[in-house]
Amino acid sequence: MIRVFRSEWRKLRRPTLFAGTLGIVLGLSVLITALLFVLLDSEGGNGPRGRVITRDTLALPSGLYLGFTNFAGLLGTIALSVFAAQTALEYTNGTLRNLLVRQPKRLVLLGGKYVAMCSFALLTVIVSAIGSIGISLLLAPTKDINTDAWFTQSSFELLYSNVGNVYLSAIAYGTVGMAVGIILRSPISSISISLAWILILEGILSFTVDGLDKWLPGQLMSLIAESSGGDISYTYALAGSAIYLAIFGGIATTLFVKRDVAN
């Protein structure tokens, strides 16, 4: 599996993918976090979906990483796109057959590729956290926000917890992307269908049908990363996501092992 892991990272560290993805993650995390401070006194709100986040909220121990958690949803869609593209391209380019010649054990090949992409997702989470926390420290004094609580033991413990939750959310999104990539075997179809469902259809359904959001996979996966899930508890979101991942993962693994590798 180590050889498969290293082989997958040869693709992941290509400048167009590695630098491009991390650059987008860093730029968007800085932008989203900066808007929390720049629009602090705006009547239209400064948080997701027009929420108003006050100075008192930003002064809490969790204020240091609030922008980071707000970016978690987009971070998940980025992970989904990378996992789906990297998996489906093996079918499109016909390279999967060559890989199976070197490693005929399909489950080992699949496991090595998955672990490699999970490590890449961890890197995107770390970069996002660094960018978000860094811009928060720079902009807080300009908005007269008391940051004393940011440097307490409570704040650091919450930070570690939230970084872990954001990573779990990103892995959940990525797992769905990898599964869809195996099922559809087309990077364009895998990414477009997945994002259309999560970003558009689920958004419409959750706003139009009361209580439906607790059954939608995208909503549950995004709630894992949030410090407060509202009416849906963290445990429920984690369990619901695990069920969906088991279903998607089981179907994809079966197809990967049993189906012909040709596209």
190 domain-assigned: yes
262 domain-assigned: no
pTM of the full structure: 0.91
pLDDT value, residue 230: 62
Residue (of 7, 222, 200, 194) closest to 99 by Cα position: 7
Return the beta strands (E) in 136-246 as ranges: none
263 domain-assigned: no
pLDDT value, residue 49: 66
**pLDDT tens digits, one per residue of 42-52:** 776 666 666 77
- What average pLDDT does the segment 14-21 reach? 93
- What average pLDDT does the segment 174-195 reach? 94
CB count, 10 Å around CB of 151?
A: 10
pLDDT value, residue 31: 93
Is the Cβ–Cβ distance between 125 and 174 less than 8 Å? no
Q: Report the C-alpha gap between 117 and 82 in whole angstroms.
A: 8
Reply yes or no on whether the pLDDT at 29 is more than 70. yes
Reply yes or no on whether the pLDDT at 20 is more than 90. yes
pLDDT value, residue 40: 82
State how many domains the chain has: 1
pLDDT value, residue 71: 86
**pLDDT tens digits, one per residue of 76-107:** 999 999 999 999 999 988 888 888 888 889 99
- Give the pLDDT band (50/70/90) at residue 67: confident
pLDDT value, residue 144: 87
Reply yes or no on whether the pLDDT at 112 is more than 60. yes
CA distances from 23 to 27, 64, 143, 168 (A): 6, 22, 27, 21
Expressed as residue numbers, the domain containing 218 is 2-257
